[in-house]
C-alpha cells in the first residue's frame, strides 16, 4: 500500500470514527462497524489511522556535521512551540544533516521555516560576536565564549515562546508517527553545552542574551511567515 493510498483509507476510517461519536445510536453503531471492518481489511490500528495524518518538513543544515548542542536545543524549543515532534538526522560525507519536524496541518511547515530563520540568525550573530573578540585569545577560549553566547541566545528565545502545542489527540498522532517511522532507533543528545571557565566568560552569555532581545515567536495568524516577529 502506498502512502497516498494509506492516507485515503485512513481518512475514510477517521470519518467513520467521528460518526461513531454521533448522538444517534444506530448511526454511531453502523459507523463503528464500518471503521472496524476497514481496519481489519487493511490490517490497520487506530494508531496507524492517526499517524497517517501526520507529515513532516525538513530543514537542510548545509553541513554533514552533528549539530552543536545549542542548535539541537533550538529545534526542540521550536517543535514545542508549534506542537510538533522533531528529530535530527546526521549527515555523512555528501549528505547534509537534516532537522525534521513532523505534525499536523501547517504546523511542521511553520516550525521548519521558523527554525531555519532562527538558526541562520543565531549563526550570523555568532559570527559578529566572534569578530568582536580579542585576537589575542586562545582558539579554545574563543570557541567556548562563542558557544556560551549562542546558548544564552537560545535561552532567551525559549523564554519568549508562546506554546500552542495542540490537543491530546494531536500529540498521540505525532507519537504514533514517530514510533512507526523510527521505532526505538532514536536516541537523545546528552552532550553538555559550554560552561564558563574564566571570570570574563559571563560577558559572552550576557552578550548572547542581549542579542536575542528583539526576536520573538507568536502563534501565526495569517500565512506561514507571520510566525516570526522582529526577524527577517
Q: Do 199 and 178 have their domain in common?
A: yes
Q: What are phi and psi of 55, to 5 degrees?
A: -135, 170
Q: What is the pLDDT of residue 229?
A: 46
User: How far is CA 46 from its chain centroid?
Assistant: 24
160 with 222, same domain: the answer is yes
Q: Does 201 lie in the same domain as 89?
A: yes
Q: Hey, what's the cell of 209?
A: 542574551
Domain final residue pick, 35, 51, 67: 51
How many angstroms separate the most distant Cα atoms in the chain? 81
Query: What torsion do the CA atoms of 73, 55, 41, 25 make, to the nearest 10 degrees?
Result: 90
Domain that holds residue 137: 57-229
User: pTM value?
Assistant: 0.76
Based on the fold, state whether residues 64 and 26 are members of the same structural domain.
no
Residue 175 shares a structural domain with residue 88 = yes
* pLDDT single digits (tens) 120-140: 999 999 999 999 988 888 999
Structurally, the chain folds into a number of domains equal to 2
The parts of the chain modelled with pLDDT lower than 50 are: 221-222, 229-230, 232
Report pLDDT for 91.
Answer: 85
* Model pLDDT, residue 163: 58
Cell numbers standing for residue 153: 541566545
Same domain, 36 and 97: no
User: 135 and 46, same structural domain?
Assistant: no
Three-class SS of residue 86?
Answer: strand
Rounded (10°) angle between helices 107-132 and 202-211:
130
Which residues are within 8 A (CB) of 228 and not within 5 positions of it... i.e. 6 or more apart?
A: 114, 117, 118, 215, 216, 217, 218
In a shared domain, residues 205 and 172: yes
Q: Quick check: helix, strand or coil at residue 58? A: strand
User: pLDDT (tens digit, 9 = 90+) per residue, 40-83?
Assistant: 888 887 777 777 778 889 999 988 888 899 999 999 999 988 88
What does pLDDT average to over the chain?
A: 82
The reply to whether 42 and 144 lie within a common domain is no
Domain shared by 152 and 69, yes or no: yes
Task: Tell me: do 142 and 89 sit in the same domain.
Answer: yes
Same domain, 175 and 114: yes
Amino acid at each position: 500500500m502506498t502512502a497516498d493510498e494509506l492516507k485515503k483509507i485512513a481518512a475514510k476510517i477517521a470519518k467513520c470514527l467521528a460518526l461513531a461519536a454521533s448522538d444517534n445510536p444506530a448511526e454511531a453503531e453502523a459507523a463503528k462497524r464500518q471503521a472496524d471492518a476497514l481496519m481489519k481489511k487493511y490490517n490497520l490500528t487506530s494508531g496507524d489511522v492517526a499517524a497517517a495524518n501526520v507529515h513532516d518538513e525538513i530543514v537542510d543544515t548545509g553541513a554533514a556535521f552533528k549539530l552543536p548542542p545549542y542548535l539541537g536545543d533550538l529545534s526542540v524549543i521550536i517543535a514545542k512551540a508549534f506542537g510538533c515532534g522533531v528529530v535530527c538526522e546526521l549527515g555523512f560525507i555528501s549528505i547534509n544533516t537534516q532537522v525534521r519536524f513532523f505534525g499536523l496541518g501547517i504546523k511542521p511547515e511553520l516550525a521548519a521555516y521558523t527554525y531555519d530563520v532562527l538558526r541562520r540568525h543565531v549563526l550570523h550573530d555568532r559570527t559578529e560576536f566572534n569578530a568582536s573578540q580579542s585576537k589575542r585569545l586562545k582558539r579554545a577560549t574563543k570557541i567556548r565564549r562563542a558557544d556560551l553566547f549562542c546558548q544564552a541566545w537560545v535561552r532567551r528565545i525559549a523564554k519568549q515562546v508562546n506554546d500552542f502545542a495542540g490537543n491530546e489527540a494531536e500529540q498521540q498522532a505525532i507519537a504514533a508517527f514517530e514510533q512507526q517511522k523510527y521505532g526505538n532507533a532514536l536516541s537523545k543528545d546528552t552532550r553538555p553545552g559550554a560552561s564558563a571557565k574564566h571570570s570574563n566568560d559571563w560577558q559572552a552569555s550576557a552578550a548572547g542574551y542581549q542579542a536575542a532581545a528583539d526576536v520573538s515567536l507568536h502563534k501565526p495568524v495569517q500565512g506561514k511567515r507571520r510566525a516570526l516577529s522582529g526577524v527577517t
